[in-house]
Amino acid sequence: MRKIDSLILDVLDNFQPDVHQKRNRVIMLWKNIVGKELAAFARPVGFDGSILLLRIIHPAASMEIRLRKNEILLKLNSVWNEELFTDLKTV
């Protein structure tokens, strides 16, 4: 008979977060990824498939998101080294 702690370790070793969990974890890092200033005006509100949905509260933030879109997507996807997000959309 095995101890419960060894069973838990086996389960955790085999645990792979699904894509939704990975996306949610990346969203929690938003401020670190885009910077405190931009994060104050552009906040993630969810995702639609691989599209990250952002709530923009200042027009300049919308412009900066468009200009830095490729850089932001690269940083978002580099957290898990896979393409979790393919686009950014303002809502």
- Kindly list the structural domains of the chain, giving each domain's residue range(s) and its CATH number in brackets, ordered by start: 17-90 (3.30.300)
Cβ 77 vs Cβ 23: under 8 Å: no
Alpha-carbon dihedral sign for residues 53, 42, 71, 60: positive
| Pairing status of strand 51-56 against strand 42-48 | antiparallel
Over the stretch 27-49, which tens digit does the pLDDT of each residue have?
999 999 999 999 999 999 999 99
Measured in degrees and rounded to the nearest 5, phi and psi for residue 63 equal: -65, -45
pTM listed for this prediction: 0.80
Over the stretch 55-83, which tens digit does the pLDDT of each residue have?
999 999 999 999 999 999 999 999 999 99
